[in-house]
C-alpha cells in the first residue's frame, strides 16, 4: 500500500488515464476503416493503433499531429487503401472532442486540495489545451512531448518534468494507465507509481504496447485513488 502522506505532487499521464482515448480513437478509426471496406473488431483496431503509434514515436521527434497522421497512413498501407487528406487529419482533429472518464473531474478537484497536480503527456501543447478545458482544474505544471521533443517511455520526458517540479523524488507519485509508456520508466528513475488499470476486467492492454512492471499500487480507477487520498493525515 502506498502511503499518500509522503507525497506533495501527483504527476499524471493524460490520455487513457484522465481522458477516454480508446473511445476517442475508435470513434474515428472504426467508421474510417468501414468506409474502406475494412471490418475489424474494436480490439483489433486498438492493438494496431498501439503498434503503429509506438513505431511512429521512435526515432527523430515529430509532433503528435504528425504521429497520428502517419498512424492513419499505416492503416491504409496495412489494408491497401489510400486515406483522404481529411482522413489523415481526422484522429488529431478529434482530440478536441475526447471526453474525460466519468470519475476524472471529481477526482482531480478532490486531489487538488492536497497535492500539486502535474501532467506528463505524449501530446502537442495545443492538443492538450483542448483536453484541459474538460479537466476543470488548474495544473501546477504541464509537460508535453512537444516541450520534451521526445515521447514516453523516453527518460527525457520525466527528467524534464522532475526539473520543473523541483521536489525530491520521494515526494512525487506518478499515476498512469500505461505500463509501457509510464510505469516502467517512472520506476527506473526511482519514482513511486500508481497503475490505473481501467482495463482490469477486460482482456489485454490493447491501446499500448505490452510491458511488464511492478507498480507500487494498482487501482481500477481514479475514484479508488481519491478514496485513499482522503486518508491522508496532516
Distance of CA 13 to the CA centre of its chain: 5
In whole angstroms, what is the distance from residue 116 CA to residue 141 CA? 9
Round to whole Å and give the CA distance between 203 and 186: 25
- 53 closest CA partner among 117, 123, 112, 100: 123
Peptide bond into 153 cis (omega under 30): yes
Among candidate residues 3, 13, 86, 103, the one labeled active-site is 13
Q: Which residue has the cell 489510400?
A: 82
Inter-residue contact 221 to 103 (CB < 8 Å): yes
Q: What distance separates the 2 farthest-apart alpha carbons in the chain?
A: 60
Q: What is d(CA 48, CA 80) in angstroms, rounded to the nearest whole number?
A: 15
| Distance from the Cα of residue 215 to its chain's centroid | 16
Check residue 167 and report its DSSP letter. S
Distance CA 230, CA 30 (A): 40
Determine whether 13 is an active site residue: yes
CA 30 → CA 20, 25, 40, 91, distances in Å?
Answer: 16, 8, 8, 11
Residues labelled as active-site residues: 13
Amino acid at each position: 500500500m502506498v502511503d499518500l502522506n509522503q507525497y506533495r505532487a501527483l504527476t499524471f499521464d493524460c490520455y487513457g488515464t484522465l481522458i477516454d482515448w480508446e473511445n476517442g480513437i475508435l470513434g474515428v478509426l472504426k467508421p474510417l476503416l468501414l468506409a474502406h471496406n475494412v471490418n475489424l473488431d474494436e480490439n483489433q483496431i486498438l492493438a494496431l493503433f498501439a503498434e503503429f503509434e509506438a513505431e511512429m514515436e521512435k526515432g527523430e521527434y515529430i509532433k503528435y499531429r504528425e504521429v497520428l497522421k502517419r498512424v492513419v497512413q499505416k492503416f491504409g498501407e496495412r489494408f491497401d487503401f489510400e486515406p483522404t487528406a481529411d482522413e489523415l487529419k481526422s484522429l488529431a482533429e478529434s482530440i478536441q472532442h475526447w471526453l474525460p472518464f466519468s470519475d476524472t473531474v471529481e477526482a482531480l478537484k478532490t486531489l487538488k486540495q492536497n497535492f500539486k497536480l502535474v501532467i506528463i503527456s505524449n501530446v502537442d501543447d495545443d492538443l492538450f489545451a483542448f483536453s484541459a478545458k474538460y479537466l476543470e482544474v488548474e495544473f501546477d505544471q504541464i509537460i508535453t512531448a512537444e516541450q520534451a521533443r521526445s515521447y514516453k517511455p523516453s527518460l527525457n520526458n520525466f527528467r524534464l518534468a522532475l526539473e520543473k517540479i523541483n521536489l525530491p523524488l520521494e515526494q512525487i507519485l506518478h499515476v498512469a494507465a500505461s505500463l509501457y509508456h509510464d510505469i516502467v520508466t517512472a520506476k527506473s528513475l526511482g519514482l513511486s507509481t500508481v497503475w490505473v488499470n481501467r482495463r482490469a476486467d477486460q482482456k489485454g492492454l490493447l491501446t499500448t504496447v505490452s510491458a511488464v512492471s511492478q507498480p507500487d499500487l494498482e487501482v481500477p480507477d481514479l475514484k479508488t485513488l481519491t478514496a485513499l487520498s482522503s486518508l491522508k493525515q496532516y
